[in-house]
Amino acid sequence: MKLFSFPTAALEKAIAKRMLTLEPGAREWFGERWAQKPYKKSFIEKKALPLVIFIAKGKNWTDQEFDQELAQWDATFYPPEVDVLRPIAEGEGMLQLMQKKVPPERMEKLLEHIKSRTLSGVA
């Protein structure tokens, strides 16, 4: 993934805000993990930050670059994680300005990639 600097504190705040909107079971599942530093760091670095990179830089990539980067993003998601990330990807809050020029088909590909890599059930 290409380098991109994004303030992790702002990302953590957005994730914490999304966590409050989860259903009780999903909120409990995600909250327990989010409270653990290794999980929090891993979630930000391997799932949330790459999502931000796709939104911020993806609009300037060729279709081939976009597809190649997407294929290399091999994260696996749990349903509560998707529920936290989806509003961020769909333009809620801090990323709205970055998303203005993202082609809708790329955003759809990005969300489809996350959906296809989601594990069923919550472990």
User: pLDDT in tens for each of the 123 residues of the chain?
Assistant: 444 566 788 888 889 888 998 999 999 999 999 999 999 999 999 999 898 888 888 778 888 999 999 999 999 999 999 999 988 787 665 455 455 567 778 888 888 999 999 987 554
Residue 122 lies in a domain: no
* DSSP secondary structure code for residue 21 in this structure: T
Residue 15 lies in a domain: yes
**pTM higher than 0.85 for the full model?**
no
Please answer whether residues 33 and 39 qualify as being in contact, where contact means their C-beta atoms are separated by less than 8 angstroms.
Answer: yes
Residue 123 lies in a domain: no
Nearest residue to 19 (alpha-carbon basis) of 75, 82, 76? 82
Q: Number of helices and strands (H, E) in the chain?
A: 8, 0
Residue 2 lies in a domain: no
Which residue range forms the structural domain that includes residue 99? 8-116
Residue 35 lies in a domain: yes
Please answer whether residues 89 and 51 qualify as being in contact, where contact means their C-beta atoms are separated by less than 8 angstroms.
Answer: yes
Residue 30 pLDDT: 96
Domain count, the chain: 1
Residue 105 lies in a domain: yes
Please answer whether residues 49 and 5 qualify as being in contact, where contact means their C-beta atoms are separated by less than 8 angstroms.
Answer: no
Residue 104 lies in a domain: yes
